[in-house]
Every structure is written in structure tokens, then in C-alpha cells.
A and B are shown apart, each in its own frame.
Chain A
Amino acid sequence: MPTSASLAGTDAPAEPGRFGLTIGPVLYHWPRQALMDFYAEAVETPADTIVIGEVVCARRRELRLPDWLALGADLAAAGKTVVLAAQALIETEADLRLLERQAEQTDFAVEAADASALHLLAERVPLVLGPHLNIYSRAALVEHAALGAGMGLGRWVAPVELPLDDIAAINPAADPVCTPAGAPVQTEAWAFGRVPLAFSARCFTARHHHLPKDQCGFRCIEDPDGLAMDTSEARAFLVLNGTQTQSAAVQCLLGEREALRAAGVSRLRLSPCARGFARVVEDFHAVANQGAKAAERLASWAALGVPGPFANGYARRRAGMEWSVTA
């Protein structure tokens, strides 16, 4: 049985009226030192939870599981709640063995990304329901909340394409879905970052470089925020990140505080970018929890190298790429 104190925070609701801030897993292939520097900076941010691990590509090996676990221990010692992320696409026996090893560690909750993870992790570690599980209705969330009853399940990260009014229908603050132990499931929303829109067995970065996936030379390490895929009219549209295809625009719900609260969202997921991220986290804290104005904070990000443009269409039941300003 995991008894580590670091698990305790997983299920704890954010302070009433405050949004918990989660730093999502780094989706890009960054050099080891860049990752270490990133997490050293992340410790100093107001984020209370950090999700670590490689979720995109099994071939990326700047950090291996023991390295992630050691990093997690450091982050936990610095007061952060740490969650290990499972790989998004499970294809091989080696992928399954990695899940097994994640199930065998007892220090951290694991964020499940597919049914393989649900099968191998349930009842073995506390679960976080990741954004790539297709939970689109209250009935589906109830099904998933019943998993791992004995181990605790703290949180559901809503699918990226769900509008806020759907999230409100699924897990409203006034009548939340509860685990069999009676604990309300927290809702986390994708509040900042390029959105992982699709996964493939094919590596699009390797394909672009005319390299086979097995001998890719890890060229994606050259693209710290992904490789831009524009339309023939030079419109920024998507970003290639190995086997993952992301939006070029950064989903940004910084101006949606009241709508998020009304939808029952209590945690905001901030997905790392290569530059300016610590300020992004600070600004989310300032706006979501301290009443600062969103517009001026947003305007300052470009100069820090934060990628853009912004999008918030999904939140409003529109095409994800659309952007309309509030607050």
C-alpha cells in the first residue's frame, strides 16, 4: 500500500474559491539539462501539482523512469504534489512493461492515458483520469470514478474538446461525481498550452526529415515547441511533435475565470512551453486567484517568447482554434 505523504495532496480539493494549478507533463523532447532547469524553475512557481514523465514517444530517453522518480522525489520534497504520467499511446510490450513499473512504484499517483493504463494501474496506485481518456458524459465519469476504489482517485482532466457547459453537466460543483469512497472527483481543464489533438504510430517529425521512425536521430529535440505546420497561406495551423499532432495556437483560458468556476472546474492545467512558462504560471495565479486582469498579462507574454496565437473556442462550443477575448 502506498503510504507516502506525497499522495495525500492528490485528493485534496483546492482551497475553496481558489483554483489549483497543475503543470502538465513536458510534451516536447527537451535535452536533459533543459528539463532539469525547467523543473528547478517550476518549483518556485505557485503551481501546487506537477505531472512528470514522457507521454509522447517511447524512444525519447533524456530521462528514464528512475530519473523521473528521483526528480519527483525532489519536487515532492519541495512541497509539490507529483503525478507520474503514463504514455499516451501504448503499442508494444515494452510500453506495457513501463506501465507495470509505474504501477509498482508507491510514491506517486499516475495519470492514466488509455485503457491499458486503467487495466494495469487500477487498484494498484491512485489514479488521475487523464485528458486522453474519452470521458464525455456524467455516466462515463461515474464508470471511471468506480476504478481503483480502494486506492483513491482524485481528479479528472476533461477531454480538450469539451465545452465548459458540457463539463458543467458532467461534474457540477453542486453535485459532483463521487468515488465509491464518497470523495468528490475534481475537474481539471486544459487552461494553457498547445493542445495535443491527435496521436499516431507514425512519427511526423521523422517523416518530415525523411527518416524511418526507428532511426529518427531524435531530430525532434531541435524543436523545443514543436515543428510548425502552416497552411499554404502561411497561417499557423498545427504543430508536429513526433507522433503527436498539436494545435499551433495556444489554448488559453486566462480570461475565463468565472466560466471555469461556474463549470465546476477547480484545477487548471498549464502545459509547458519552452520560454516564459514560469511567468505564465504566475500570471494564472494572479488572475485566477488574486483578481488581476487577464488582458494586460496576456499582452506581455509575446515578448517573453511564449508561443501564440491564442485560442479558446473549445470552451465556448466552437471550433477549438477560434479566439474571442474576455476580461
Chain B
Amino acid sequence: MSPPRKPQLVCPAGSLRALQCAVDAGADAVYLGLKDATNARNFAGLNFDDAQVQAGVAHAHARGAQVLMALNTFAAARDPSPWFRAADKAVALGADALIVADTAVMAWCRRRHPQLRLHLSVQASATSHAAIEFYRERYGIQRAVLPRVLTLQQVAQVIERTEVDIEVFGFGSLCVMVEGRCALSSWATGCSPNNAGVCSPASAVRWSEDARGVQARLNDVLIDVYAPDEARGYPTLCKGRFVVDGRRGYALEEPTSLNTLDVLPQLIGMGVAAIKIEGRQRSAAYVEQVTRVWRAAIDRAAVAPERYQVAPEWSHTLARHAEGQQHTLGAYDRPWR
């Protein structure tokens, strides 16, 4: 049996500067989105215009890296044309693959751009090999990004039973809900990842302070109250504190980040094709430092898995960038069961 291949390191690029940092720090691929609702990180000041995509593709290709374009929201009913135009643009601007979630977009790509490589976005919520097969048979997807809800064993089973390459999340903010199937943000604000490309949008966030402490609201819904000396997080709805049965706490999830460095040799051993770093909304410095750590870790784990250990300086670097300075293995780990 041949040794498992080295997975591709896929890094976030919210800006041209972040893209350059990621590529120069050793990313095998970067993913980016356009400045509109066609991608799931539709924040002001983020993402790429056409000229920036072109410059990013040139920078990446000159250094042997790939550019994946995220077109991972669902085409709007009243005007789906921006999604179809974005697919055309990805081809024209030289993207190496399109990360897609919507069957309408996939069908468009198959008809118009049969040579274009399609990666199934995590937003498509494919949690089983049967689901992945659905998209492979109908739309020819070549890679699928798994939602962060499966255990390691379940990931291994998916890999065994599909010929589609599997990409998993390695590090970054943790969605505890199945991506592509969470409407919590839209319930509170009217905007959702699926239809507006944004969760807990900044425009709906309001901070205030009174005797109880600092309050964070999302469209008037109180998401959290912080004591004066307490660290404050961004008021992502699922990571707020609420009252259940008279007890106040993080009813859904603590502000914490996913970090899979500990299980990297297992992920490689089971044959994951790519490891994704989350964080297009983060700074270029985050991208640079996190990419450097993961480049080193993947190289070491792939070449000499028996000698692999998480280096203290890796953990130290990643901890600086983790939400609430906390790490978790999320669903990969037993405590969720």
C-alpha cells in the first residue's frame, strides 16, 4: 500500500495582502470570494474585485499555488444572475476551482464551463458519502468539504466510500451547526449565511453599557452581557450566553476555535485530500502566521508521522489567534457524542 499523500493546505484570503501572505507562507491553495452576497463571508471591506482576483491568481500561479473561488451562497430567487456571472468570472479570471453550494450554480457550471473544477462547499451540507455521490453523479464535483459535525471515524468512512477528494476544516472558528442549514442569524436579523452570505451581520450588532455590564445585541436580541474585566467576543448568536431552566450560560457553544493539530497524522492517514484553515475575515498577519504553522505541521506529519508531535511554538502561535484563546476538537472528539 502506498503511503498516504500529503494533503493540500488551503488557506483563507479576505484580501490581496492576505492572499500574498498565505502563498508566501506555504499555502498550497488559497480561497477567496467576490465583494458581494455570492460568497459566505460578505463583510464590508473584505474580499476581491476583478483586478484583485487577477493579481491574486498571478501571484499564486507564479509560486505554484492554486486559487479557489468561493461561490458558496444560494442564488437569489429574484435575481440569480450575479451567481451565474460570478461563475463565468471565475473562469475568465483564471481560478483553479469553484467552491459551490447551490445546485443551480452547479448546473450552470456544467453547462457553460464543463472543464471547470468544482469543489462542493461546506455550505452544501453533505454529511455522508451518499450525499457527496449525489453531487458527483449529477454535477461532477471533484472535491467535497465536510461540515464540522462528523467524528474522525465518520470522516474515515466517508473517505472510504467515495471517489471524491475530501477536504476537512483544520483550524479556525467553529460552527456548531451544520453549515448551510443554520437560520439562527436570519431569525434574529433577516440576514443569513445562505441568502446574504453573512452570519450575525455587523450592521445588526449594537453595544451598550449600564450597571449590569457591557451588553452585546443583535437586532435588539441580547446575546451576551460582559462583566467589566471580562474578555468580549464578537456577538455571534450561537456563542452567546442565554438562560435555560434558570441557568445562564453558553447554551449552544463557548467562544472557542477548532484546532486539529493533535489529530493531524490521523487525518493524513485516513486520506484527507486537503485541510482548510478558516478565517477570511481575519487579518493578513493571522493568515501568515497560521499558514506557517500548518505548513510545518503538515510537512512533518506527512513525512515522518511516527515522530510527529505538536511543537509548543505552534500551539503558542495558534492560541494567540483562537477565539477566547480556547481550542477544541469539536465533533472530531468524543465529548460531543
User: What residues of chain A have their CB less than 8 Å away from a CB belonging to chain B?
Assistant: 88-93, 95-96, 99, 114-116, 118-120, 132, 134-140, 142-144, 159-162, 165-167, 169-170, 195, 197-202, 204, 207-208, 212-214, 227-235, 237-238, 240, 245, 247, 313-314, 317-321
Residue of B whose beta carbon sits closest to that of A203: B336
Known contacts A91-B154, A139-B107, A232 near B187 by CB under 8 Å: no
Docked-complex contact B244 and A208, CB < 8 angstroms? yes
Contacts of A161 in B (CB 8 A): 183, 186-187, 192, 194-195
Q: Which of B60-108 contact A (CB under 8 A)?
A: 74-78, 80, 101-104, 107-108
C-alpha gap A315/B215 in the complex (Å): 30
Residue of B whose beta carbon sits closest to that of A166: B77
Contacts of B77 in A (CB 8 A): 136-138, 162, 166-167, 169-170
CB distance from A237 to the nearest CB of B (A): 6
C-alpha gap A143/B75 in the complex (Å): 13
C-alpha gap A304/B130 in the complex (Å): 43
For A144, A166, A198, A204, which residue has the most chain B Cβ atoms within 10 angstroms? A198
Q: Does B225 lie at the interface of the complex (its beta carbon under 8 Å from any beta carbon of A)?
A: yes
Docked-complex contact A230 and B157, CB < 8 angstroms? no
Docked-complex contact B186 and A213, CB < 8 angstroms? no
Docked-complex contact A245 and B107, CB < 8 angstroms? no
User: What residues of chain B have their CB less than 8 Å away from a CB belonging to chain A?
Assistant: 74-78, 80, 101-104, 107-108, 124-128, 130-135, 137, 149-150, 154, 157, 176-178, 180-184, 186-190, 192, 194-195, 219, 221-225, 238, 241-245, 247-248, 251-253, 331, 334-337
Contacts of A90 in B (CB 8 A): 127-128, 130-131
Extra contacts besides A134-B102, A229-B244 (6): CB < 8 Å: A132-B181, A134-B74, A166-B78, A195-B183, A202-B336, A230-B242
Contacts of B253 in A (CB 8 A): 202
Residue of A whose beta carbon sits closest to that of B222: A231
Contacts of B150 in A (CB 8 A): 91, 201
C-alpha gap A197/B199 in the complex (Å): 13
A212 in complex: contacting residue of B181, B241, B244, B337, CB < 8 Å? B337
C-alpha gap A196/B237 in the complex (Å): 16
C-alpha gap A320/B187 in the complex (Å): 4
Contacts of B133 in A (CB 8 A): 119
Subset of 25 A-B contacts with CB under 8 Å: A88-B181, A90-B130, A96-B130, A114-B126, A136-B77, A136-B102, A137-B76, A137-B77, A138-B80, A139-B107, A140-B103, A140-B104, A143-B103, A166-B76, A195-B183, A198-B182, A199-B177, A202-B149, A204-B252, A207-B251, A212-B334, A232-B242, A238-B184, A318-B190, A319-B186
